[in-house]
Amino acid sequence: MVRSKTHRARMLRRNATQAERVLWRAFRAMARPERIRRQHPIGRYVADFAIPSRKLVIEIDGGQHASIVARDSARTRVLEARGWRVIRFWNNDVMSNLEGVLETIAAEIERAPSSPRPSPPPRGGEGE
């Protein structure tokens, strides 16, 4: 049976790692103008966290990622080709240095240009 990316994202949210839960709680506690999405589908991938307005993906990697570096690199290249920037942190970085991780993320958000919002349609009717 083929499952949708949305279904997969929901499953990943329900089965988040401890580091993902800690980071999500920290995001929710912050006052921030950008909307941060967790387990956000992008193409054939599901990003741990994404800030669509800044085209920024935040990946939290566990020990299993040490053995799949080539696959992670390929994934990053695909996301970058779609215009996303990808930053990665190890689980233990989130758990032992949450403030440092949040500072790095804040700096990346500031560095990234925000996506332009479409202009609202002009008021009134045609010719006014």
Report the pLDDT value the prediction gives residue 76, as an integer from 0 to 100: 93
Query: Can you give the pLDDT at residue 13?
Result: 58
CATH of domain 5-111: 3.40.960.10
For residue 93, the model assigns a pLDDT of 95
Residue 9's pLDDT is what? 55
51-104 pLDDT, tens digit each: 999 999 999 988 654 556 778 889 999 999 999 999 999 999 999 999 999 999
Q: How far apart are CA 93 and CA 116, in angstroms?
A: 33
Write out the H or E segment, with its range, that includes residue 104: helix 98-111
Q: Would you state the torsion angle of the CA atoms of residues 102, 104, 105, 108, taken in this order, to the nearest 10 degrees?
A: 160
Q: Which of 75, 58, 57 is nearest to 23 (CA)?
A: 58
| Selected residue with higher pLDDT from 120 and 23 | 23
